[in-house]
């Protein structure tokens, strides 16, 4: 993405200087979207992929540097086995199908979450996608898969405790920066804006640490219907917020 392109495509009522650096999204409502149309739930997930692709392209066009999408939570294993299997296969198929286009569009892919328990063919496709796009300089696209914030925080605690135990760091070395460096999102700015579709007002174990001062935008729209215009509205709302980070202006 070039700066010129983002200047051309950004809606005139959005302030280029106040575009969030990092947008996170909870893509909720796929099942309801399908049910409302008399389709099986998996059709909603399929449609959800199209909405995610459009959002990624839109973020790129409008100068957003990082997009993080919640694709599968540590709790989602509790869904019916056929839905879980469908989602795993969908992730793998989409990754394989879209990789060349991601390369053309300079997208850098990172999967966040405990990937070790995913099907091995999906793990291989994930590693391949991350390696292949590692040097891309465009938008950073994070896909949270088997992600749970509590699990991520515990994982960081274990890693840090091991460093202390092995005398590689001292207790006093533990600070916010060191802690963040052990989260799956290490090296990334924290989200400025989290969008949740389908009207639910909770974080659902997503980016609990990272969202300490992130703005939350909830829309009634079901995920497969979330489009550029809806995103535009979310950004307009975000740009009205007075972000004080606990201080006074
Ligand atoms: C939540 O809607 C959605 C999910 C658990 C799956 C989201 C996954 C995608 C959109 C596919 C993304 C693909 C890639 C390759 C990253 P829900 O099923 O909970 O909807 P409901 O609340 O209406 O039942």
Indicate which residue of 76, 106, 136, 227 is catalytic.
Answer: 76
Q: What are the residues facing 195 on neighbouring strands?
A: 25, 217
Is 30 among the residues known to form the active site? no
Distance in angstroms (rounded) separating the CA atoms of residues 89 and 77: 14
Q: Is residue 91 lining ligand 1, measured as CB closer than 6 Å?
A: yes
CA–CA separation, 39 and 30 (whole Å)? 11
Q: Please give the number of the atom of ligand 1 that sits closest to the Cα of 95.
A: 15
CB of 143 closer than 8 Å to CB of 112 = yes
What is the DSSP annotation of 98-114? HHHHHHHTT-EEEEES-
Torsion, Cα 211 215 218 224, to 10 degrees, reads: -70
Ligand 1 near 28 CB (within 6 A): yes
**Phi and psi angles of residue 193, each rounded to the nearest 5 degrees, phi first:** -140, 130
What pLDDT is attached to residue 1? 44
User: Which of helix, strand or coil describes residue 15?
Assistant: coil
The set of residues, in sequence order, having a beta carbon less than 8 Å from that of 236 and lying 6+ positions away, is 13, 14
First to last CA, the chain: 34
- Given a contact cutoff of 8 angstroms between Cβ atoms, the answer to whether 10 and 16 are in contact is yes
pLDDT in tens, the chain (249 residues): 444 454 458 999 999 999 999 999 999 999 999 999 999 999 999 999 999 999 999 999 999 999 999 999 999 999 999 999 999 999 999 999 999 999 999 999 999 999 999 999 999 999 999 999 999 999 999 999 999 999 999 999 999 999 999 999 999 999 999 999 999 999 999 999 999 999 999 999 999 999 999 999 999 999 999 999 999 999 999 999 988 888 887
Task: Tell me whether strands 193-196 and 66-73 are parallel, antiparallel or unpaired.
Answer: unpaired
Predicted confidence at residue 9, as pLDDT, reads: 84
State the distance from the centre of ligand 1 to the C-alpha of 17, rounded, in angstroms.
Answer: 32
Strands 140-147 and 108-112: parallel
The full set of domain ranges for the chain reads 3-151+204-233
CATH architecture of residue range(s) 3-151+204-233: 3-Layer(aba) Sandwich (3.40)
Which residue, judged by its Cα, is nearest atom 14 of ligand 1? 91
Query: How far, in Å, CA of 186 to CA of 74, rounded?
Result: 20
Judge whether 249 counts as a catalytic residue: no
Ligand 1 atom closest to Cα of 76? 5
């Amino acid at each position: 993405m070039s700066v010129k392109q983002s200047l051309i495509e950004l809606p005139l009522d959005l302030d280029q200087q106040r575009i969030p650096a990092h947008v996170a999204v909870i893509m909720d409502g796929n099942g309801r979207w399908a049910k409302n149309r008399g389709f099986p739930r998996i059709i909603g997930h399929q449609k959800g992929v199209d909405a995610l692709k459009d959002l990624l392209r839109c973020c790129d066009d409008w100068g957003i540097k990082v997009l993080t999408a919640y694709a599968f939570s540590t709790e989602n294993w509790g869904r019916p086995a056929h839905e879980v299997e469908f989602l795993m296969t969908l992730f793998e198929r989409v990754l394989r199908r879209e990789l060349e286009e991601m390369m053309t569009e300079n997208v850098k892919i990172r999967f966040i979450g405990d990937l070790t328990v995913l099907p091995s063919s999906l793990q291989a496709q994930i590693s391949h996608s991350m390696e292949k796009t590692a040097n891309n300089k465009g938008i950073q696209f994070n896909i949270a898969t088997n992600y749970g914030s509590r699990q991520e925080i515990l994982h960081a605690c274990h890693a840090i405790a091991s460093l202390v135990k092995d005398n590689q760091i001292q207790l006093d070395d533990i600070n916010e920066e060191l802690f963040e460096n052990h989260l799956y999102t290490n090296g990334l700015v924290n989200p400025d804006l989290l969008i949740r579709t389908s009207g639910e007002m909770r974080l659902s174990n997503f980016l609990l640490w990272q969202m300490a001062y992130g703005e939350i935008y909830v829309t009634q729209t079901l995920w497969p219907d979330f489009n550029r215009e809806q995103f535009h509205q979310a950004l307009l709302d975000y740009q009205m917020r007075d972000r004080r980070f606990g201080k006074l202006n």
